[in-house]
Structure 1
């Protein structure tokens, strides 16, 4: 790429380029870089990257010209050792084959049938809390969402094995922490974080093997769907195992983080909380929410949408150009790495009034904004395969909890985030349980 066709480059540090600012505070750094233009050129140790923040350009990458882009090397490296054979990390015909194999488990009607069980599991979990209890909110939400996922999509009881999945998820977050000095070392140099990751993933591999041992091909679970695909010769054993591992890790953690932030914001905004509870009480009338009530919970949907806008669980989508292309008037070579940050676009004042404010009512207004000003589950053919499941669980779980308890959320200092794979809070988030 010559200097004429290169996008603007924000100021960076000697040697480390933009890596230092990104490791210290990616959230502020990305928003500042975006002020330079809709496409900017960034330098990191050992690589370069283009950050794209114009919704119409994001739509071109993810949807209109998706054949010119694939998952990036950054994303593939992220999942090495845990789900490199999974649908999130594979490309080309192999990705298409895996996506087809998994799709039956996430069909719309099948997913919606899980609503009743999601509500029951949530009610059981919340009913263990006593008035005045002070709970670790993220830990409780992770326990809940893992139980829901295993009970519905996998058809297994995870009781007693929760720590195995939680430890693997924590190890992956630690390994991908941008502040970790070990990320600068060659892959063959072992670090304590790498060794912890290998141990945790090994234990989760054993758990996945036990799930598969108890599953039967063709049964109504992801394990059954994948085993049937393996019998047909559509997928390998390694692909079955890695896709189940990926489902366990991302399928519980991202939903738990979103529920944590939803309660954090509802606790800070009493009027939004009042409106949501008013709707829940009217729609549910003391019953549990299920498939029939899902569509009627419009304010709950709006609270979830607004939480995903402010706190997208995966704060950026990464892509790689498969061939020379042009984007936003700039020439990109084959292999160019792209970062499409939801964190920036979801908080861009060009598309959102008072963009940093939590305002669920904005979703009831007829605001004219580009479609890809909002893409919490990515978009195009590679959108998150669990999107329908996650949306259903978030609405059902939030409504079930709001009908039973109020949570007074507290954070030690300002809310901060771990600069890693997922948008986890970097500080402890506690909640005091209030019952009427």
Structure 2
């Protein structure tokens, strides 16, 4: 009995000691946060929700309500100026809309990608996701090596050679729409363009025929789960620890496993073909294998790096282009005059041709303007961030080093100081003779870390839109919203539901 009492006393003392240590650590952390506040509170910004959590509760509330966080970034930028402070625990994020600072920071390699953000997409809830691939690599040498090896797969000469595949996959979509028009079936355009862009990236990047217009696949749902998991993991520190979220967390981890397992299979098939001396295309998959070095000397980390780049290109090469196409169709449905002007250009340039050539794309100038205006209002990858390691001055405000700068193309694209009547869809802003926006329009980011696949994406978007306008009339179904869903990438909430009918070219 005495021994039991001694044991209880010892446990009580140990718990008291642990509680005391926790209290000391908590007080120390609070002191640290106070020092951070004193260091950066001279920078304008909205009132914090709490001393400890900063603005994190606002982000969590907006996500639960299905709101677009970038709308708050826009409001804060207009209220507090070109550099706006946001707090979350001991982290400080600066929302920067100053064009000169945007140019200085994004165009220079001396500002690395945001360590906190990109470490959170290295893995999702403990399951490796984007890892250290081309988009997420923070080490400049690792990034530069990968970028140099990937460049040939995005050269102008190679992209010209993809026109046949762009046409072929777009024609599969047109065949689906032909059936829908014949049967007077309403169509979810976001879903259909997701299928075509996923088909394209699978074929031209990895040499695989998915044919999603005809076949079901787990990939679209897996990609959506990963993107949702990514944005919750970044914006809500405590999301994974909530027991109610456990089923979704497991779904996200399974989606990551599916994508990486698929990548491993496709990579091994291609490596076998290369070892057998078979002819293989100089596509992204071949470049991914080359980026890991000689096959016989690969370490486990090299294998993982190949899968990192597979997942990166598989998602990035599909998701953003599909969303851009869907937003473009949505806006054309709301603006019949712009739609008719686009149809006339397509008729003049393409006529009744089945095959759109690379040279045709250069003549579709108004279509280019419409696609650029779509990305101004709906930048499907709406922002990028960089770490500011040394002191800097932005718009006359001294910024101590050790902070992260975030650049929202969504916010700058909707600010009246940069674009007159910014909520008006006006493709003439991007007329060849119009003045170019000065570092306030960057849907593909800027500088050395800008999107490698932007020319690929815009070629694909042009082919799909030109064929759609050439062959079909479409009308938005009444009653649907024009709201935006924020999954890290932006997509139309309604899915852009349309009725389609064959064009009468004798009108």
Q: TM-score, normalising length from structure 1?
A: 0.92
Task: Work out which of the residue numbers 242, 246, 264 in structure 1 matches 2:312.
Answer: 246
1:38 CA displacement: 0.3
Contact 1:83–1:245 (8 Å) recurs in 2: yes
1:42 CA displacement: 0.8
In the alignment, structure 1 residue 172 sits paired with structure 2 residue 215: no
Task: Work out which of the residue numbers 71, 91, 97 in structure 1 matches 2:138.
Answer: 91
Rounded to whole Å, the distance in 1 between the matches of 2:489 and 2:122 is: 13
Task: Work out which of the residue numbers 74, 92, 100 in structure 2 matches 1:48.
Answer: 92
Contact 2:70–2:408 (8 Å) recurs in 1: no
1:178 CA displacement: 4.7
Larger deviation, residues 18-27 vs 194-203: 18-27
| Correspondences of 1:352-391 after superposition (within 5 Å) | 352-364=419-431, 366-391=433-458
Counterpart position of 1:78: 121
SS of the residue corresponding to residue 357 of structure 1 reads: coil
Contact 2:85–2:93 (8 Å) recurs in 1: yes
Contact 2:233–2:239 (8 Å) recurs in 1: no
Task: Work out which of the residue numbers 275, 283, 293 in structure 1 matches 2:341.
Answer: 275
- Cα RMSD of the aligned pairs, angstroms, is 2.5
Quickly say closer, same or farther: Cα 1:147–1:17, change in 2 above 3 A.
same
In the alignment, structure 1 residue 285 sits paired with structure 2 residue 351: yes
Contact 1:317–1:339 (8 Å) recurs in 2: yes
Residue by residue over 1:302-337, the C-alpha shift from the partner in whole angstroms, topping out at 9 and shown as x without a partner, is: 111111111001111121123343333333344311
Quickly say closer, same or farther: Cα 1:3–1:91, change in 2 above 3 A.
closer
Quickly say closer, same or farther: Cα 1:42–1:280, change in 2 above 3 A.
same
Task: Work out which of the residue numbers 380, 386, 389 in structure 2 matches 1:322.
Answer: 389
Quickly say closer, same or farther: Cα 1:177–1:67, change in 2 above 3 A.
closer
1:338 CA displacement: 1.4
Task: Work out which of the residue numbers 448, 454, 466 in structure 2 matches 1:399.
Answer: 466
Task: Work out which of the residue numbers 323, 328, 331 in structure 2 matches 1:265.
Answer: 331
Quickly say closer, same or farther: Cα 1:360–1:208, change in 2 above 3 A.
same
Larger deviation, residues 294-303 vs 368-377: 368-377
Counterpart position of 2:46: 10
Rounded to whole Å, the distance in 1 between the matches of 2:450 and 2:375 is: 15
SS of the residue corresponding to residue 398 of structure 2 reads: strand
Counterpart position of 1:198: 253
Rounded to whole Å, the distance in 1 between the matches of 2:501 and 2:176 is: 13
In the alignment, structure 1 residue 142 sits paired with structure 2 residue 194: yes
Rounded to whole Å, the distance in 1 between the matches of 2:94 and 2:132 is: 26
| Correspondences of 1:335-354 after superposition (within 5 Å) | 335-354=402-421
Quickly say closer, same or farther: Cα 1:265–1:282, change in 2 above 3 A.
same
Rounded to whole Å, the distance in 2 between the matches of 1:249 and 1:121 is: 18
Contact 1:5–1:331 (8 Å) recurs in 2: no
Rounded to whole Å, the distance in 1 between the matches of 2:443 and 2:234 is: 26
Counterpart position of 2:502: 435
Contact 1:21–1:29 (8 Å) recurs in 2: no
1:229 CA displacement: 3.4
1:352 CA displacement: 1.1
1:182 CA displacement: 6.2
Rounded to whole Å, the distance in 2 between the matches of 1:333 and 1:192 is: 42
Counterpart position of 1:33: 76
Runs of at least 5 residues in structure 1 that lack an aligned partner in the other structure: none
Quickly say closer, same or farther: Cα 1:180–1:225, change in 2 above 3 A.
closer
Bigger Cα Rg: 2
Q: TM-score, normalising length from structure 2?
A: 0.80
In the alignment, structure 1 residue 125 sits paired with structure 2 residue 173: yes
Task: Work out which of the residue numbers 486, 489, 499 in structure 2 matches 1:419.
Answer: 486
Rounded to whole Å, the distance in 1 between the matches of 2:216 and 2:435 is: 44
Residue by residue over 1:233-289, the C-alpha shift from the partner in whole angstroms, topping out at 9 and shown as x without a partner, is: 799221111101111111111110000000000000001100101010110121132
Which one has more relative contact order, counting CA pairs under 8 Å at least 6 apart?
A: 1
Larger deviation, residues 142-151 vs 79-88: 79-88
Residue by residue over 1:75-129, the C-alpha shift from the partner in whole angstroms, topping out at 9 and shown as x without a partner, is: 3313422111211111121111221221221112212321232022102211222
Rounded to whole Å, the distance in 1 between the matches of 2:386 and 2:97 is: 13
Counterpart position of 2:162: 114
Alignment: residue pair count: 435
Quickly say closer, same or farther: Cα 1:212–1:411, change in 2 above 3 A.
farther
1:210 CA displacement: 2.1
Larger deviation, residues 232-241 vs 288-297: 232-241
Quickly say closer, same or farther: Cα 1:169–1:412, change in 2 above 3 A.
farther
Quickly say closer, same or farther: Cα 1:52–1:141, change in 2 above 3 A.
same
Counterpart position of 1:214: 269
